[in-house]
Amino acid sequence: MVFAGLQKLTLLDYPGHTACTVFTQGCDFRCPFCHNSSLLETGAAPEYPVEEEAVLAFLNKRRGTLDGVAITGGEPLLHPELRDFVLRVREMGFAVKLDTNGSHPEYLRGLIDGGLVDMVAMDIKNCPEHYARTVGVPGLDLTPIRESIALLRETRVPYEFRTTVTNELHSAEDMRGIGEWLRGDYPYFLQLYVDSGRVLRSGLTAPTPEKMHEFRGILLPFLPKTQIRGLD
């Protein structure tokens, strides 16, 4: 497959691992706050294409230096050929962390059941009532999202849920709705919105640290492992 980019070193994308990050082209959502908006068009030629063999050659040279590969997008699970890439990466001895929006639960289940991923991070865009608006897909069917949540909650593979927070799309009521929906004792992260300069909707703003802590306080009774990312 052809990737849309390769970040050769990250200490953040795969917690606890020294890793590289590969980016896939295409997504089935249109979140207004997406900082990777150049990766959204499925089937489009990547702006900075990287051939699969080039990624594998890079990894071969980094044996003993890197211990993991983070796969993000776009939405990686739009690509049927991703499974073969992951298999080759695992055969080289690298751990694999997958980022997903949860819209393809059967593909996700296949990777997990096949022992091909070592960690999954799933984006939770908002409470169910405001999900379609937040992902930019009117009439969105939440069934696949619910199935992916249930799948991760029953798996032994480490996982986390996370929500990117903006003033314009998220409220205290929304946080309560997310908490009531997801409630459980597993990692959940509030991520502060950052304007990359290439987001789909201009005018979005990041909450203050005080508001982020307020939101965390709302979530803690439902999700006691809630943490905040993005605050200095």
pTM, two decimals, is: 0.94
What's the CA gap between 164 and 123, in Å, rounded?
8
pLDDT at residue 216 in the model:
98
pLDDT at 47 over 90: no
Note whether 127 and 181 are within 8 A (CB). yes
pLDDT at 48 over 90: no
pLDDT at residue 223 in the model:
98
What's the CA gap between 74 and 64, in Å, rounded?
29
The 10s digit of each residue's pLDDT in 167-216 is 999 999 999 999 999 999 999 999 999 887 778 788 899 999 999 999 99
The domains of the chain are located at 2-229
pLDDT at residue 41 in the model:
80
Backbone angles phi, psi at 185, to 5 degrees: -100, 70
Q: Which residues of 192-221 are buried (b: 16+ CB within 10 A; e: fewer)?
A: bbeeeeebeeeeeebbeeebbeebbebbee
Q: Which CATH number does 2-229 carry?
A: 3.20.20.70
The 10s digit of each residue's pLDDT in 105-150 is 999 999 999 999 999 999 999 999 999 999 999 999 999 999 999 9
Count, in order, helices (H) and strands (E) of the chain: 7, 10
Q: Mean pLDDT, to the nearest integer, of 44-54?
A: 88
